[in-house]
Chain A
Amino acid sequence: MSLFANTTVLLGKELRTEFRSRELLTTTIVFILIVLVLFSFTFDPLSDEARRFGAGLLWLAFLFAASLMLQPCFLREQTNDTLSALRLSVSDPFAIFLAKLAANTLFLLLTELLLLPIFAVMYNVRVLPVLHWIALVFFLGSLGVSIAGTALSAISAQARMRELLLPLLLLPLLTPILIASTEVTSALLDRSPYVQWKGVGFLVAFDVVFLTALWLFGEYLLEE
């Protein structure tokens, strides 16, 4: 079976598993909400500051949520050693990663888009006119987070203190995503919104670099 076919099958499995219980999605959404509310206590949410800092806080919340949400990614494959089964079922282990990172990107994107209206209301920003652009930056940013997060999740699943380890490894690595995504989002939420193409290009570059790295080295992450 081709890489595409393998990935599609595995992706279907990932999605089915999650949508059966939806526990990952619901807990992630609630977590981001909590973080947003907590952030609002640290400054005046209706001031001009909120408008300027809003995008950054939003992405910080996404990053924190992702570093928690990505934990079960490979951990759950350790019970009953389903990882070995997965490895046997595909010819190219990259399919496993592709499927997982596609699923993670989808989950992240879903939670982000669901929270967008709430964020817009809480922080008093207009999102409707630039909705498609926001969706684009959400996608590119979440893709980057998922690629790095899926890879690192495979690493932390094999170490001790994994709950603390994944955020520890992931968050410094994602600094470029945080900066670029915040910049692009902030430009879109500005009083006179515009698309920061430099940022979009940078996000694409990040995604390409890490996807390539994952393609080159992914199989070693899954070694016995």
Chain B
Amino acid sequence: MKNLGSVFAAYLVGWAVFFAFYLTVARRTALLREELDRLKQSMKKGS
């Protein structure tokens, strides 16, 4: 059971990197989609 901490740490860090990547992408996607919809709405109203 020696080094169990290290193995856990490795896997956790790895997953943390992937989660962080996915979450940042998802958040930015949501924000952009929001802004895109907003712009499209305002263009529809304007014209």
A and B in contact, CB less than 8 Å: no
